[in-house]
Amino acid sequence: MTDRAAQPAHGTSRRGLTRRGLLGVAGAVGVAGAAGAGGYAIAEASDEAPDHGATVPFHGAHQAGIATPAQDRLVFAAFDLLTDDVAQVRELFQIWTEAAERLTAGQAVGPLAPSDGEPPEDTGEAHGLPPARLTVTFGIGPSFFERDGEDRLGLAHRRPAALRRLGALPGDQLDPERSDGDLCVQACSNDPQVAFHAVRNLARLGRGVVVLRWTQLGFGRTSTTSRSQDTPRNLMGFKDGTNNLRAEEAERLDRHVWVAPDEPQRWMRGGSYLVARRIRMLIESWDRAAIDEQERVIGRRKISGAPIGRQDEFDPVDLRARGGDGLPLIGDTAHIRLASPDTTKGIELLRRGYSFTDGIDPRTGQLDAGLFFLAYQRDPHRQFAALQRRLGTADALNEYIKHTGSAVFAIPGGIGRGRWLAQDLFA
Amino acid sequence: MTDRAAQPAHGTSRRGLTRRGLLGVAGAVGVAGAAGAGGYAIAEASDEAPDHGATVPFHGAHQAGIATPAQDRLVFAAFDLLTDDVAQVRELFQIWTEAAERLTAGQAVGPLAPSDGEPPEDTGEAHGLPPARLTVTFGIGPSFFERDGEDRLGLAHRRPAALRRLGALPGDQLDPERSDGDLCVQACSNDPQVAFHAVRNLARLGRGVVVLRWTQLGFGRTSTTSRSQDTPRNLMGFKDGTNNLRAEEAERLDRHVWVAPDEPQRWMRGGSYLVARRIRMLIESWDRAAIDEQERVIGRRKISGAPIGRQDEFDPVDLRARGGDGLPLIGDTAHIRLASPDTTKGIELLRRGYSFTDGIDPRTGQLDAGLFFLAYQRDPHRQFAALQRRLGTADALNEYIKHTGSAVFAIPGGIGRGRWLAQDLFA
């Protein structure tokens, strides 16, 4: 066991993370800033097998937790602002940055047992646990900039053009209590207690400035974001993410995921856009479907993951292949046909989804379970929304799923050492 | 990756688990029965470090998942019967037994891709995953025997005396939708996807006979049930389970956990009673409490886990020790004083709790999180209920928790090879 909080526990560390200590934070960040931004250590991270002791670098050209090999567990939280005072928000971003630096390095956010009789600054449940590749990724929703038509923080001129709500999409059955949000935090780790601890402590540090809007626990990754990872199965029992973008594909990531270097909003350069969709699977209906129907809906074989008509999971998908009866092997409404870049004129997304289960649906007694779909992209309207307009009307999968939550967030660019989240947003 | 379902996938295996195939099951069970019950391999299991590939034996004198070193993740499900036909229930118990045998051995419950155009018998999301020490533990609630005063299955004469609802206890704020149940399944594994898969497939096999009543996901164990395990921390940040009963303590387990060999109901010999309590922690209040208050409430130091006044987590608790001021070091209302066997005239429980988080409380915006407390014992009324009557009134911890769900289940004795769950209940 690591001694995660030995320093803060003895009360000798800087008490920078509480709001009373903000000036201390800002000063320290300034001093540490000399080291510069540094590159995002993608090759290093992607080559290592999942390891509970390992850390993923927090600083870099892009935020970690996007093109980082997907960790096994997720705790996701959306927050709403309680203030229209931009100074308070800037302060929060500074506090959250320093906290995330500490958490991802396996440290407590502050003393567990302060000597001055105050409440612990860290809640302690991760004390002794290695970080298990924890990443903390921050995002900003459209309502951060504008609520009820109002420029609430005076930052409307800093809003990037692509940050708009997705609007109604076919197949939506959205629950407002599981949708939207002014801010988001995605905590991924191979240890769910570490991810929970991160979100809980960030929520606590934000008390009075933000309040939790919704959260989502993901118990198993359904995507592969690195060539070093096997393809996991989703709750339909199918391999998911076979043709996902990979951390090693820098050129494709630049084209499809990272905001361009000439983006007018400097704080978004090297950033991305996250679309989060809570996709409930109607698993009882799915489970009653014959295997042929399931494979027809997806367009792949269930056990091997191979495209229909091929042998191996990674065999290329040939949408023109026909069977002996002259009909397409992969049907017109098969999910992989409609989602294929060949069909969509090149739309690609970096998917980092997680399986969830949230108890039972009290109306039906059936499991409320499915896929919490997280997709990163350069433009959520030209990518996810365009794709979903097609899938939501034609995809054979629609009979077995419904989208019950939706949110879009701008993901600011990577945070250099000594800098803080979206710093140029406030410049 | 193991080839979990290679056999059934090729359609050559016996199709015993669907209800259409029941006669096949019963026959096969009879044939396999020659091997006899066999002992529960406790020493073997407890000496091994958590290992995703490892299996825990299903058969034995006691059900696995009780005095088994606690796995990291939990999926728990309570079911209600949809039938009053005892033959259907007996059939379900046979089907569930064979399914659990397969699942805990890392096998699918049936073909993933049947050749006859039928739906897959196994839902497939655990295909390729090792069992990660999966255990499946079954229980029977009081309402199984009697509902609305009626002997619904004609088995009232087989009901053990100790299987009664707990009744109102101090501190209860119970949600009926998270309480009670005719049957329960506890699935524990180091891989949550494996545990989810088990519960989902058991629910599916029971379709038409049982329906899910409630479920609970536990993301991190909070108990230590073997000397081979470190003590984890609960969401209050304190080590939990320091003085728990241990798998290695056969004599204490016989006295406190296992139903006596002279129990009149034969099907309960070697069994136990499970009390499940969903304990919501008011973590925002807790997080605002000073460290001294937190330690006073628990009676232990937060970081070390040592009893107040001692140095080490495992130092014995001395309830008579006084400080320089003449006052008890461990206060009159401290949790460990009130829960101590010295105070309770020897009450002990085998705890197998898990931390949970179920999103936010929509009324408050605070995390709905806490401890899903599972306790095994010989008599739930003389043990858990007697303890909770004391704790629920006097425990300083009450300010920071509330019990929001409650259930009690009789846990039938271990299942010998070739036999099935609670077989003597139907004899």
Does the beta-carbon distance from A119 to B287 stay under 8 Å?
yes
Chain B residues 166-205 with a CB less than 8 Å from chain A: 177, 191-193, 196, 200, 203-204
Nearest to A120 among B112, B219, B237 (CB): B237
Nearest to B214 among A233, A301, A360 (CB): A360
pLDDT band for position B52 (50/70/90)? confident
How many H-runs (helices) and E-runs (strands) does chain B carry? 11, 10
Q: Which two tokens stand for residue A261?
A: 């270097």
Express each pLDDT in B90-129 by its tens digit. 999 999 999 999 999 999 999 999 988 889 999 999 999 9
Helix axis angle, B192-205 to B86-104, nearest 10°: 150
Q: Which of B360, B310, B311, B356 is nearest to B330 (CA)?
A: B310
The DSSP line for B147-171 is: BTTB-TTS-GGG--TT-S-----TT
CA B93 to chain A, closest CA, distance in angstroms equals 20
Express each pLDDT in A121-141 by its tens digit. 999 999 999 999 999 999 999
Does the beta-carbon distance from A123 to B216 stay under 8 Å?
no
Lowest mean pLDDT among A4-18, A348-362, B86-100, B195-209: A4-18
> Backbone dihedral region of B270: left (phi > 0), alpha (psi from -120 to 50 degrees) or beta?
left
Mean per-residue pLDDT, A310-318? 95
Does the beta-carbon distance from A283 to B237 stay under 8 Å?
no
Q: Are A401 and A392 in contact (CB under 8 A)?
A: no
As a whole-number percent, the residues of chain A with pLDDT over 90 amount to 82
Q: Which two tokens stand for residue B19?
A: 């209800």
Nearest to B367 among A114, A212, A213 (CB): A212
Does the beta-carbon distance from B119 to A233 stay under 8 Å?
no
Distance of alpha carbon B84 from alpha carbon B189, whole angstroms: 33
Task: Establish if B362 touches chain A: CB-CB under 8 angstroms.
Answer: yes
The Cα diameter of chain A in Å comes to 80
Distance of alpha carbon A171 from alpha carbon A166, whole angstroms: 13
Chain A residues 102-141 with a CB less than 8 Å from chain B: 112-114, 117-120, 122-128
Measured in degrees and rounded to the nearest 5, phi and psi for residue A19 equal -65, -25
Nearest to A291 among B120, B235, B284 (CB): B120
Chain B residues 292-311 with a CB less than 8 Å from chain A: 292, 294, 301-303
Distance of alpha carbon B309 from alpha carbon A112, whole angstroms: 19
Nearest to B124 among A219, A230, A233 (CB): A233
Residues of B in contact with A367 (CB under 8 A): 200, 203, 212, 215
pLDDT of residue A362: 86
Task: Establish if A404 touches chain B: CB-CB under 8 angstroms.
Answer: no
Place of tokens 């779909």: A373
Measured in degrees and rounded to the nearest 5, phi and psi for residue A141 equal -90, 165
Interface test with B, best of A4, A15, A121, A125 (most B CBs within 10 A): A125
**Dihedral angle, C-alpha A410, A411, A413, A418, nearest 10 °:** 120
pLDDT of residue B394: 93
Distance of alpha carbon A361 from alpha carbon A366, whole angstroms: 6
Distance of alpha carbon B313 from alpha carbon B299, whole angstroms: 12
pLDDT of B24 higher than 80: no
Task: Establish if A24 touches chain B: CB-CB under 8 angstroms.
Answer: no
Q: Which two tokens stand for residue A330?
A: 């992969």
CB-facing half-sphere around the CA of A38: CA atoms within 13 A = 18
Q: Residue ranges of the alpha helices (H) in B105-257? A: 142-145, 192-205, 250-256
Nearest to A220 among B192, B214, B289 (CB): B192
Lowest mean pLDDT among A37-46, A245-254, B358-367, B392-401: A37-46
Sign, CA torsion A35/A37/A43/A46: positive
Q: Are A66 and A60 in contact (CB under 8 A)?
A: no
Nearest to A127 among B9, B192, B303 (CB): B303
Does the beta-carbon distance from A1 to B230 stay under 8 Å?
yes
Minimum CA–CA partner of A301 in chain B? B113
CA B270 to chain A, closest CA, distance in angstroms equals 31
Q: Which of A245, A210, A253 is nearest to A227 (CA)?
A: A245
Nearest to B302 among A124, A211, A235 (CB): A124
As a whole-number percent, the residues of chain B with pLDDT over 90 amount to 82
Distance of alpha carbon B331 from alpha carbon B315, whole angstroms: 17
How confident is the prediction for chain A on average, in pLDDT? Answer: 88
Neighbours of A101 (CB within 10 A): 19
pLDDT of B49 higher than 90: no
Sign, CA torsion B83/B85/B88/B94: positive
Task: Establish if A288 touches chain B: CB-CB under 8 angstroms.
Answer: yes
The Cα diameter of chain B in Å comes to 80
Q: Which of A323, A330, A343, A326 is nearest to A386 (CA)?
A: A343
Q: Which of B55, B94, B58 is nearest to B71 (CA)?
A: B55
Distance of alpha carbon B337 from alpha carbon B366, whole angstroms: 30
Minimum CA–CA partner of B199 in chain A? A367
Q: Are strands B183-189 and B73-81 parallel, antiparallel or unpaired?
A: antiparallel
CA B214 to chain A, closest CA, distance in angstroms equals 6
Q: Which of A57, A137, A97, A188 is nearest to A421 (CA)?
A: A97
Minimum CA–CA partner of B118 in chain A? A290
Report CA-CA distances (Å) from B53 to A126, B2, B134: 26, 9, 10
Distance of alpha carbon A235 from alpha carbon A285, whole angstroms: 13
Distance of alpha carbon B148 from alpha carbon A408, whole angstroms: 50
Chain B residues 54-93 with a CB less than 8 Å from chain A: 73, 75
Q: Which two tokens stand for residue A168?
A: 């109604």
Does the beta-carbon distance from A196 to B128 stay under 8 Å?
no
CB-facing half-sphere around the CA of A29: CA atoms within 13 A = 28
pTM of the predicted model, to two decimals?
A: 0.90
Of B5 and A58, the structure prediction assigns the larger pLDDT to A58
pLDDT band for position B51 (50/70/90)? low
Distance of alpha carbon B200 from alpha carbon B122, whole angstroms: 10
pLDDT of residue A53: 75
pLDDT band for position A172 (50/70/90)? very high
Q: Which of B251, B262, B229, B222 is nearest to B371 (CA)?
A: B222
End-to-end CA distance of chain B: 42
pLDDT of residue B227: 87
Express each pLDDT in A82-123 by its tens digit. 999 999 999 999 999 999 999 999 999 999 999 888 899 999
Q: Which of A311, A302, A333, A307 is nearest to A321 (CA)?
A: A307
Q: Are B227 and B250 in contact (CB under 8 A)?
A: no
3-state secondary structure of A177: helix
Q: Are strands A73-81 and A350-351 parallel, antiparallel or unpaired?
A: unpaired
Note the ipTM here. 0.89
Minimum CA–CA partner of B3 in chain A? A303
A23 CB-contact burial (10 Å; exposed 0-12 / middle 13-18 / buried 19+): exposed
Query: Chain A to chain B, count of Cβ pairs less than 8 Å apart?
Result: 192
Q: Which of B80, B223, B132, B218 is nearest to A357 (CA)?
A: B218
pLDDT of A37 higher than 70: no
pLDDT of A41 higher than 80: no
Residues of B in contact with A360 (CB under 8 A): 212-215
CA A81 to chain B, closest CA, distance in angstroms equals 12
Q: Which of B150, B174, B122, B173 is nearest to B15 (CA)?
A: B122
Chain A residues 201-260 with a CB less than 8 Å from chain B: 203-204, 207, 211-217, 219-220, 230, 232-238
Distance of alpha carbon B253 from alpha carbon B260, whole angstroms: 11
Does the beta-carbon distance from A287 to B114 stay under 8 Å?
no
Place of tokens 């091994």: B48
pLDDT of residue A51: 62
pLDDT of residue A223: 87
Does the beta-carbon distance from A213 to B365 stay under 8 Å?
yes
pLDDT of B77 higher than 90: yes
Does the beta-carbon distance from A114 to B212 stay under 8 Å?
no
Interface test with A, best of B52, B178, B360 (most A CBs within 10 A): B360
Interface test with A, best of B20, B75, B125, B201 (most A CBs within 10 A): B125
Which contiguous run of DSSP H or E holds residue A145? helix A142-145
CA A286 to chain B, closest CA, distance in angstroms equals 9
Give B64's contacts (C-beta < 8 A, 6+ positions apart): B40, B56, B57, B58, B104, B135, B136, B137, B414
Chain B residues 332-351 with a CB less than 8 Å from chain A: none
